[in-house]
Structure 1
Amino acid sequence: MNYDTVREADPAVADALADEVDRQRDTLSMIASENHVSEAVMEAQGSALTNKYAEGYPGSRYYAGCENADEVEELAVSRAKELWGAEHVNVQPHSGTQANMGVYLAMLEPGDKILSLDLTHGGHLSHGHQANFTGQLFEVEQYEVDEGTGYVDYEGLREHAEAFEPDIVVSGYSAYPREVEWERVQAAADAVDAYHLADIAHITGLVAAGVHESPVGVADFVTGSTHKTIRAGRGGIIMCGEEHADAIDSAVFPGSQGGPLMHNVAGKAVGFKEALEPEFETYAERVVENAEALGETLQDRGFSLVSGGTDTHLVLADLRESHPEVTGSDAEEALEEVGIVLNANTVPGETRSPFVASGIRAGTPALTTRGFGPEEMAQVGACIADVVDNVDDADVKAEVAERVQDLCDEHPLYE
Structure 2
Amino acid sequence: MSYDTVRETDPAVADALEGERARQNDTLAMIASENHVSEAVMEAQSSELTNKYAEGYPGERYYGGCEYADDVEQLAIDRAKELWGADHINVQPHSGSQANMGVYLGVLEPGDKILSLDLTHGGHLSHGHPANFAGQVYEVEQYEVDEETGYVDYEGLHEHAEEYEPDIIVSGYSAYPREVDFARIQEAADAVDAYHLADIAHITGLVAAGVHESPVGVADFVTGSTHKTIRAGRGGIIMCDDEYADDIDAAVFPGSQGGPLMHNVAGKAVGFKEALEPEFEAYAQQTVDNAVALGDRLKEHGLDLVSDGTDNHLVLVDLRPSHPDTTGKDVEAALEDAGIVLNANTVPGETRSAFNPSGIRAGTPGLTTRGFDEDDCREVADLIYDVVEAPHDDDVVAEVGERVDELTDEYPLYE
Distance 2:234 2:396 in 1: 37
Is 1:312 the counterpart of 2:312? The answer is yes
1:11-410 alignment, distance < 5 Å: 11-410=11-410
- Partner of 1:75, secondary structure, is helix
* Cα offset, 1:83, TM superposition: 0.0
Letter of the 1:123 partner, please give it.
G
Distance 1:48 1:79 in 2: 22
Unaligned runs of 5+ in 1: none
CA deviations on 1:227-280 (whole Å, 9 max, x unpaired) are 000000000000000000000000000000000000000000000000000000
- Partner of 2:15, secondary structure, is helix
Letter of the 1:242 partner, please give it.
D
Letter of the 2:170 partner, please give it.
V
Distance 1:271 1:319 in 2: 36
CA deviations on 1:205-238 (whole Å, 9 max, x unpaired) are 0000000000000000000000000000000000
Letter of the 2:396 partner, please give it.
V
Distance 1:11 1:30 in 2: 30
Unaligned runs of 5+ in 2: none
- Partner of 1:320, secondary structure, is coil
Distance 1:284 1:317 in 2: 22
- Partner of 1:89, secondary structure, is strand
CA deviations on 1:102-155 (whole Å, 9 max, x unpaired) are 000000000000000000000000000000000000000000000000000000
Distance 2:2 2:39 in 1: 13
Moved over 2 A (4+): none
Letter of the 1:145 partner, please give it.
V
Distance 2:166 2:414 in 1: 47
Count residues in correspondence. Answer: 415
Letter of the 2:106 partner, please give it.
A
Distance 1:371 1:124 in 2: 29
* Cα offset, 1:394, TM superposition: 1.1
Distance 1:102 1:358 in 2: 33
Distance 2:392 2:132 in 1: 36
Distance 1:273 1:395 in 2: 45
Distance 1:139 1:392 in 2: 43
Letter of the 1:21 partner, please give it.
R
Distance 1:134 1:301 in 2: 40
Distance 1:40 1:395 in 2: 40
Distance 2:406 2:64 in 1: 53
Letter of the 1:27 partner, please give it.
T
- Partner of 1:396, secondary structure, is helix
Letter of the 1:171 partner, please give it.
S
Distance 2:383 2:165 in 1: 47
Letter of the 2:26 partner, please give it.
D
* Cα offset, 1:397, TM superposition: 1.0
Distance 2:331 2:171 in 1: 29
Letter of the 1:120 partner, please give it.
T
Distance 1:36 1:401 in 2: 21
Distance 1:389 1:286 in 2: 28
Across the aligned residues of Structure 1 and Structure 2, the Cα RMSD in angstroms comes to 0.4
* Cα offset, 1:2, TM superposition: 2.8
TM-score of the two chains, using structure 2 as the length reference: 1.00
% identical aligned pairs: 78
* Cα offset, 1:395, TM superposition: 1.1
User: Which residue is 2:10 aligned to?
Assistant: 10
- Partner of 1:321, secondary structure, is coil
Distance 1:408 1:300 in 2: 25
Distance 1:166 1:328 in 2: 34
CA deviations on 1:156-211 (whole Å, 9 max, x unpaired) are 00000000000000000000000000000000000000000000000000000000
Distance 1:238 1:346 in 2: 28
Distance 1:156 1:238 in 2: 28
Letter of the 1:167 partner, please give it.
D
- Partner of 1:111, secondary structure, is coil
Letter of the 1:355 partner, please give it.
F
